[in-house]
């Protein structure tokens, strides 16, 4: 009985280490690979938003995530990926309530960055798609999977015109 319990503990420990290792493969990819402009000292620059995420994607895979944007803020959404899958990821932004398509980078020269001002507070759905095609082999990496990062940055919008105080 003790041997079974000991073997079970070892198996659980090994499998949890495997899960942690897989999760850490792309954990902070968006912080390392996507371009961030601002610093905490510069009040007018974009700042890191904690809704940013990274993940391991296979060719042709699609993933969606929810994001909340707040009225009175400017946002910049950047998508970046490892070169093994190419350098372009397709992404679309939808209004979560109405499912209205707000932005599609394939209709905007495949730009990997989008800036906008939130007119109202609302939830968005960001859909990222990794295109299929030739893959480059890299040592220690899966042949058809790579890290993709979604970096969300925000700043308080500048007051323009005759603003009321």
For residue 6, being part of any structural domain is answered with: no
CA distance 42 to 52: 20
For residue 79, being part of any structural domain is answered with: yes
For residue 108, being part of any structural domain is answered with: yes
For residue 12, being part of any structural domain is answered with: no
For residue 7, being part of any structural domain is answered with: no
pTM of the model: 0.73
CA distance 26 to 56: 6
For residue 114, being part of any structural domain is answered with: yes
pLDDT band at 163; cut points 50, 70, 90: low
Which among 70, 161, 149, 54 is positioned nearest to 116, based on CA atoms? 70
> Into how many domains does the chain fold?
1
For residue 3, being part of any structural domain is answered with: no
Residue with tokens 């759905």: 125
Model confidence over 27-82: pLDDT tens digits?
888 877 776 665 555 666 888 999 999 988 888 889 999 999 999 999 999 998 88
For residue 119, being part of any structural domain is answered with: yes
Residue 89 belongs to domain with CATH number: 2.60.120.380
* Residue 126 pLDDT > 90: yes
Which residue range forms the structural domain that includes residue 41?
28-156
């Amino acid at each position: 009985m003790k041997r079974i319990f000991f073997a079970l503990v070892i198996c659980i420990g090994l499998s949890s280490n495997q899960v942690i290792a897989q999760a850490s493969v792309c954990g902070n990819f968006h912080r390392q690979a996507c371009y961030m402009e601002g610093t905490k000292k510069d009040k007018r620059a974009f700042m890191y938003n904690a809704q940013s995420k990274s993940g391991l994607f296979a060719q042709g895979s699609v993933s969606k995530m929810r994001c909340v944007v707040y009225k009175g803020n400017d946002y910049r959404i950047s998508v970046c990926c490892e070169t093994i899958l190419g350098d372009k990821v397709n992404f679309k932004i939808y209004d979560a309530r109405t499912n209205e398509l707000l932005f599609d980078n394939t209709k905007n020269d495949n730009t990997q960055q989008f800036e906008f001002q939130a007119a109202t507070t609302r939830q968005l759905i960001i859909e990222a798609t990794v295109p299929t095609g030739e893959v480059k082999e890299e040592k220690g990496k899966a042949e058809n999977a790579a890290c993709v990062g979604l970096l969300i940055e925000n700043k308080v919008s500048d007051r323009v015109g005759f603003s009321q105080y």
